[in-house]
Amino acid sequence: MRKYLLTGMSIAGMAYLSACNQGKAAADKQATPDILAANVDSTVNPAQDYFDFVNGGWIKQNPIPAEYSAWGIGNLVQEELYKRLRLINEQAAEKPGDAISHKIASFWKSGMDSVAINAAGIKPIEEDLKAIDAVTNVQELVALAATQNIYTGAMCSPYIAQDSKNSEAMALQFYQGGLGLPNRDYYFNTDERTTKVRQAYPAHIARMLQFTGMDANAAKTAAEDIVKLETLLAKSSRKLADLRDPEANYHKMSVTELNKIAGNIDWAAFIKQQGISKFADTIIVGQPEFYTALSTAVKSQPLSTWKNYLKWHLISSAASSLSDTIAATNFAFYNTLLKGQEKQKPRWKRVLDTEEDAIGEALGQLFVKEFFNATAKKRYENMVEDIRGALKTRIENLTWMSDSTKQKALYKLSKITKKVGYPDKWKDFSAMDIKDQSYAQNIKAARQWWHNYSVNKLGKPVDRTEWDMTPQTYNAYYNPSNNEIVLPAGIFTVPGKRDEELDDALVYGYAGASTIGHEITHGFDDEGRQFDAEGNLKSWWTKEDESKFNQRAAVMVRQFDSYVVVDSQHINGKATLGENIADLGGILLGWDAFQHTEQFKKNQPIAGYTPPQRFFMGYSLGWLSHTKKEELARRVLTDVHSPAKFRVNGPFSDVDAFYKVYNVKEGNGMWRADSARVRIW
């Protein structure tokens, strides 16, 4: 994914603002400050630290609000979106029209009814807690865990997706999971920040368990046992970088074979308990050693510990939909301690965030009617083809790749499907049981619907028209199984600007390089290159070409390994390799395509900056943000994206054109010796 500015969740954004500021006079437009020039810190030498130069002025004037762990362009876009989505919800609540409006109104009203939510306290999950209490043996435990897993993610992470080696088939897949901390490193790393989080974790679990009715002493003991159990699972969980190898995380086996390596769980019963009946007797297990450890723990750990573990994951997953006291307690650990957020967003924004996950595409149907037009859609569809053409030329001119692999690469490039703006067909949410009921029940109903929606894909042809993001999302992605790039309307937004106000230099940097070029390059990064034109995990490189690619990629791993983010924590060059390759590739492709524009050829400055300078500034606008230290530390351990600053300074120091445009010399901070620059695409 191209944008990853705030959290592991997709960041909703604002679609093209065709309706914003309509009717303003030309004089008013002229008076609007240039968004690129306005962000500059002129006290910084761009050849020394380009990110601080191009975004530093804005950062100095815009501190991170207390309710956020980071603040940047994604938030600015989000703020505009919040206002418009709130209006859509309030209008639906006041006068619901069709079935979609009724669901939106019901969800909104239930989420905004804080009086009812606080009065209910723990009641929305009482039946689930009673079901846990009623468990008397391991078989009942596993059956209940399978049912509650749909809502809590406890024990493991089953899901349904395309078979990586047969992209025409949907497959049931099992992944590692079941941890309450962000990933396995939080259970073992010894640096000060991670240790602080780990030491605070048992006390947080205990506080949450007390809401379920446990006394303080029982909750303290239960929390200690839960941490020991999760630590056992974490020991057999793979590290972030190791999860990025698609071949190493693909193990197709029968249910019988899974039972041989994890036999203390009846996997056929587990699968059936999840409502899955339509599947061949094969599953794809990502990390078999995790399931062996899970099976061992089911037998070795006391039943009481497992029951308390399920209670913990239940209340943790439901916390945001429960009373203010429960939600605030959960926030204090996961948001304040882990991310540095000082306070929660106001309730209406939190409800909109939850609604985005629940029925975001339904909102999108209403949204695009008002805020995305055909002219903008056409501009970016054309830009995709400009970028595709740039990569075609680069592949043809590669000196390190054989003709055999080149031809296959060119064929794959030609087969990449582009999806721009919004889906041609929308999901049908009519069966989602959102109605006048509690907020927690509506969220649970949405999760159940998404689970059923996913299960229903088994045994059916793959729907290659489907979108996995909503139109209003400030994000984008490349899907290797479909060999497609998906570019929601929101990703092209510059806050407060209409599309026609944006010059090509800005757009080719902001959208062409950091979004379109980035996503196309993902098809040829260290992971994406392992999938063929049809979306199958299948080797199509010669061994010699593969070796040469890996040698060039290793240069980038070393480069990013050397960057210190916070305290003594370095970027994980191997874990972030795919995103770093895509950033660099996107810049090169955007630059190549931009050179064919009239603006580049005329070379007339705007706001004192030349078109080439504005291209690099435009790319950097996409990473306009700053982040609290707590959140930076978390991302280093959990995120496959480098922090924003290094997504600018890192790849730019590998781009020869950047050196020429800004006269970068040896001794400058942005300088890298020619032999140390990354040369892949």
Q: What is the pLDDT of residues 212-236, one digit of tens each?
A: 999 999 999 999 999 999 999 999 9
- Phi and psi angles of residue 173, each rounded to the nearest 5 degrees, phi first: -130, 140
**Measured between alpha carbons, how far is 336 from 424 in angstroms, rounded to an integer?**
40
Average pLDDT over residues 239-259: 97
β partners of residue 283? 253
The pair of structure tokens assigned to 175 is: 């992944």
Residue 396 host element (H or E): helix 374-397
Q: For domain 26-63+372-423+471-676, which architecture applies?
A: 3-Layer(aba) Sandwich (3.40)
Asked whether the beta carbons of 318 and 440 are under 8 A apart, the reply is yes
Domain with CATH 3.40.390.10 in the chain: 26-63+372-423+471-676
DSSP 617-671: HHHHHTT-EEE-HHHHHHHHHH-SS--HHHHHHHHHTT-HHHHHHHT--TTSTT-
Evaluate if residue 289 carries a pLDDT over 50. Answer: yes
Question: What are the CA-CA distances from residue 286 to residues 174, 282, 290, 462, 525 (Å)?
Answer: 6, 13, 9, 21, 21
Fold of 123-321: Neutral endopeptidase; domain 2 (1.10.1380)
Q: Which of 415, 425, 316 is nearest to 364 (CA)?
A: 425
- Phi and psi angles of residue 566, each rounded to the nearest 5 degrees, phi first: -150, 140
Residue 261: burial class (beta carbons within 10 Å; 0-12, 13-18, 19+): middle
In the chain, what percentage of residues exceed pLDDT 90?
88
Strands 625-627 and 569-570: unpaired
Strands 157-163 and 166-175: antiparallel
**Measured between alpha carbons, how far is 211 from 70 in angstroms, rounded to an integer?**
30
Strands 564-566 and 569-570: antiparallel
Mean model confidence pLDDT for the chain = 93
Residue 9: per-residue pLDDT: 28
The pair of structure tokens assigned to 288 is: 């078999």
Evaluate if residue 13 carries a pLDDT over 60. Answer: no
Terminal CA-CA length for the chain? 19
The pair of structure tokens assigned to 53 is: 């130069």
Residue 225: per-residue pLDDT: 98
The 10s digit of each residue's pLDDT in 468-489 is 999 999 999 999 999 999 999 9
Residue with the two structure tokens 């009481």: 304
Residue 419 host element (H or E): strand 417-421
Evaluate if residue 14 carries a pLDDT over 50. Answer: no
Confidence of residue 465 (pLDDT cuts 50, 70, 90): very high
Domain with CATH 1.10.1380.10 in the chain: 123-321
Evaluate if residue 595 carries a pLDDT over 90. Answer: yes
**Measured between alpha carbons, how far is 182 from 185 in angstroms, rounded to an integer?**
8
Residue 591 CA, chain-centre distance (Å), reads 26
The 10s digit of each residue's pLDDT in 511-553 is 999 999 999 999 999 999 999 999 999 999 999 999 999 999 9
In the chain, what percentage of residues exceed pLDDT 70?
95
Average pLDDT over residues 324-330: 98
Average pLDDT over residues 245-250: 97
Residue 458: per-residue pLDDT: 94
The pair of structure tokens assigned to 660 is: 């020429």
